[in-house]
């Protein structure tokens, strides 16, 4: 997919360029107004969003939109997100203070002195807010793929340069964001939001299952908290057969996580039984090398429970 972020200094015309780019590339525009609307719509479920959680929420919103359409984002700080996701292109508009004050004069219909006061006030507020939300008050040029000097070209010329650059880089050749990639991003965002006791509206419904062990129920509650889809003991894998082809030994992992194509086995039993189970898992991996399986041992479960306070102890 293409995720085009456009950032600019106070008084730059990055919003105007963002609208033009969204129209040119038939993309979804996420600007400050739309993003804040989305946050306000969800505040009943999320609660007040602290500045430190802003970047995680913005990343989740961009990823959700990128599954359906290309995205142009002009929200301050968006260039710092999705750094390892292919198909992202980051643009920075830079100009002189005099030009930016001139833009404010035109936009607000005020004289230069009033525009200078507006510029100073907005710039200070922008830097303070950016520091709280993204850890840095100023831009870093190496965070961007393209830097455009506003004095050298107008919005139409800037858009032409961006168009040529993204075509040359093959940004649109990646297609839209896959559901699997979006699930990974949403998972990371939920982990970060959970540090502030925030949980986005549920995308996955919790289910009930007849668990054979208390640890499985604890693990299921953790998956529900992070809105990770799960299936309980959905499949058994034959491991041994007799001479007539009848299955004599099989292994059934505890959970399957379809978003990650991953089976999970929980092991909190005595070491003698753990050794036997490890043999089965090793055999499963040799017979079914395409199957992804992760084992959580007793220490792993204890660490999870202590971290998230799900229960006083791991049931034995």
Contact 228, 257 (CB under 8 A): yes
Q: Residue 115 and residue 117: Cα distance in Å, rounded? A: 5
Report pLDDT for 302: 66
Considering just the CA atoms, what is the radius of gyration of the chain in Å? 26
Q: Residue 275 and residue 156: Cα distance in Å, rounded? A: 68
Of the candidates 186, 172, 180, 176, the residue with the CA atom closest to the CA atom of residue 68 = 176
Q: Residue 38 and residue 16: Cα distance in Å, rounded? A: 21
pTM equals: 0.62
Return the beta strands (E) in 79-217 as ranges.
88-94, 146-149
Q: Which residues contact 277 (CB under 8 A, 6 or more apart)?
A: 265, 267, 269
Report pLDDT for 316: 45
Strand 71-73 and strand 146-149: the pairing is unpaired
* DSSP type of residue 195: T
Q: Residue 269 and residue 316: Cα distance in Å, rounded? A: 7
Report pLDDT for 242: 84
3-state secondary structure of 241: strand
User: 3: exposed, middle or buried (C-beta count within 10 Å: 0-12, 13-18, 19+)?
Assistant: buried
Considering the chain, what is the average pLDDT of its residues? 81
Contact 115, 105 (CB under 8 A): yes
Report mean pLDDT in 10-residue bins for the chain, 316 residues. Answer: 85 88 88 76 60 85 86 88 83 90 86 90 88 85 89 89 90 80 80 71 51 80 76 89 86 87 80 77 90 83 58 44
Q: In what order do the strands lie in the sheet with 255-257?
A: 231-232, 255-257, 262-267, 293-297
3-state secondary structure of 237: strand
Contact 41, 52 (CB under 8 A): no
Residue-range domains of the chain with CATH: 3-194 (3.40.50.300), 214-308 (3.40.960.10)
């Amino acid at each position: 997919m293409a995720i085009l972020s456009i950032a600019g200094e106070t008084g730059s015309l990055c919003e105007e360029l963002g609208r033009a780019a969204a129209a040119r590339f038939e993309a979804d525009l996420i600007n400050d107004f739309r993003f804040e609307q989305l946050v306000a719509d969800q505040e009943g479920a999320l609660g007040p969003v602290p500045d430190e959680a802003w970047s995680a929420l913005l990343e989740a919103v961009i990823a959700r939109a990128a599954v359906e359409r290309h995205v142009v984002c002009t929200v301050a700080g968006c260039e710092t997100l999705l750094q390892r996701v292919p198909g992202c292109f980051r643009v920075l508009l830079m100009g002189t203070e005099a030009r930016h004050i001139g833009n404010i004069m035109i936009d607000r219909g005020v004289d230069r002195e009033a525009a200078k006061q507006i510029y100073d006030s907005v710039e200070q507020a922008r830097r303070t807010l950016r520091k709280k939300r993204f850890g840095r008050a100023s831009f870093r040029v190496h965070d961007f793929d393209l830097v455009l000097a506003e004095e050298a070209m107008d919005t139409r010329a800037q858009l032409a340069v961006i168009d040529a650059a993204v075509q040359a880089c093959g940004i649109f050749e990646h297609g839209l964001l896959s559901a699997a990639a979006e699930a990974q991003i949403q998972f990371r965002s939920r982990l970060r939001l959970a540090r502030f006791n925030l949980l986005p509206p549920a995308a996955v419904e919790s289910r009930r299952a007849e668990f054979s062990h208390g640890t499985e129920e604890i693990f299921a509650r953790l998956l529900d908290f992070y809105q990770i889809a799960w299936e309980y003991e959905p499949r058994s894998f034959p491991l041994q057969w007799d001479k007539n082809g009848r299955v004599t030994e099989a292994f059934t992992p505890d959970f399957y996580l379809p978003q990650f194509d991953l089976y999970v086995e929980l092991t909190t039993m005595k070491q003698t039984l753990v050794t036997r189970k490890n043999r089965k898992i090793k055999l499963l991996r040799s017979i079914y090398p395409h199957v992804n399986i992760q084992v959580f041992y007793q220490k792993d479960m204890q660490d999870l429970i202590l971290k998230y306070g799900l229960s006083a102890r791991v049931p034995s």
